[in-house]
Amino acid sequence: MAKARFPGADIEVFDSESASMGIGFLVLEAAEAVLSGKTKEEILRLLTELRPHIRSYAVIDSIRHLLKSGRVRAGQALIASVLSIKPLISIRRGAVEVVDRVRTRRAALDRLVELALEAAGKNPKARLAVVHGNVLDEANRLRDKLRPLVNCKEIVVTDIGPALAIHGGPGIIGVICLSGEA
């Protein structure tokens, strides 16, 4: 859109293949690269190298919003609801996929911690975000649980953003990591 509206401007379109803080972390990396004097070509190369190192995971509290958005069928939603199954989703190469199914919210949050540790580990260059849909207190508790386990450059707590919130609804919570390995 911006490129079309400002044809004379030097604008480059870059597909993050991500959402929420997956995009945010790439923007932060690009801004830091600009401040350090990198050229446009160097920045695009950096972003291209960093893009596959974004890991995004979220737990959906209620399958109802996935049903409304057409992401699951009615029969799947009924079974998931009766069994209290919490789908754990990931964004990989721009596509949303279910990577796990757990029986309770607590088990789902424990699984998020495991996935965050796998993604960030003790890498001091990693960036980690806890993202949420209207569950700030729970997001802060998850951050506090992660803080002593990882050695990240930072841990941010923020809203999940509309692209994921529309499918996950209120109560969605997740972790997004940029491993810092370019």
- The structure tokens listed for 107 are 């088990």
Average pLDDT over residues 164-181: 84
* Residues 132 and 159: beta-carbon distance below 8 Å: yes
Confidence bin at 38 (pLDDT 50/70/90): very high
**Per-residue model confidence as pLDDT tens digits over 115-137:** 999 999 888 889 999 999 999 99
91-95, 140-144, 145-149: least confidently modelled range: 91-95
- CATH topology classification for 50-178: Hypothetical Protein Tm841; Chain: A;domain 3 (3.30.1180)
25: its two tokens: 């972390």
Q: Which of 27, 16, 80, 29 is nearest to 89 (CA)?
A: 80
The sign of the dihedral angle between the CA atoms of 148, 152, 158, 164 is negative
Q: Which DSSP helix (H) or strand (E) runs through 11? A: none
- pLDDT for residue 82: 45
Percent above pLDDT 90 for the chain? 51
pTM to 2 decimal places: 0.84
Question: Average model confidence (pLDDT) for the chain?
Answer: 84
Tens of pLDDT, residues 44-85: 999 999 999 999 999 987 666 555 555 555 445 445 454 466
Residue range 16-41: average pLDDT? Answer: 93
Per-residue pLDDT band at 91 (split at 50, 70, 90): confident
Cα distance between residue 36 and residue 115, in whole Å: 32
Domain boundaries, the chain: 50-178
Q: Is the pLDDT of residue 167 over 60?
A: yes
Amino acid, res. 130: V
pLDDT value, residue 158: 95
**Lowest-confidence range among 1-5, 67-71, 163-167?**
67-71
Alpha carbon distance 129, 116 (integer Å): 9
Q: Which of 66, 142, 67, 156 is nearest to 111 (CA)?
A: 142
What per-residue confidence (pLDDT) applies to 78? 45
